Amino acid sequence: MSGFKNFILRGNLVELAVAVIMGTAFAAVVTAFTGMLLSAIAKATGGAQPNFDDYAPGEIEVGPFLTALVAFLILATVVYFFVVMPYTKAKDRYFPTEEAGTPADVALLEEIRDLLKARNGSV
């Protein structure tokens, strides 16, 4: 029973569950935004929403694939410009990367080494 309790209370499992829940909720937002963009495109062009489902050159039904591809590209664009880019900028602003150089623990060990060398050399 303690093994099950440890499994359930592991931080990674809880973080993963939260990520799935947030991802599902965010997917609904992005899907709605994609629908809004498609209807805006339809209004701007004066036609119906872009839908290639009936397109079948040479009796090969490529229409559903094209519709899914266009929706995917719009979705990927929305995610990149409204999630990835702002996240990257915020991360760089609030959590800047450390400057290249010797890490603090290595510098401390080097200092101890140098002190030991100096002490052994003077004795």
pLDDT digits (tens, 9 = 90+) for 37-88: 878 877 888 877 767 778 788 888 888 888 888 878 888 888 889 888 998 8
Would you say 42 and 49 are in contact if contact means Cβ atoms under 8 Å apart? yes
> What is the chain's length?
123
pLDDT of res. 85:
92
Mean pLDDT calculated for residue range 104-116: 90
pLDDT of res. 109:
92
Per-residue pLDDT band for 113 (boundaries 50, 70, 90) equals very high
Query: pLDDT by residue (tens digit) across 2-47?
Result: 787 777 666 677 778 878 888 888 888 878 887 788 788 778 888 7
The model's pTM is 0.51
Q: How many separate helices (H) and strands (E) can be counted in the chain?
A: 5, 0
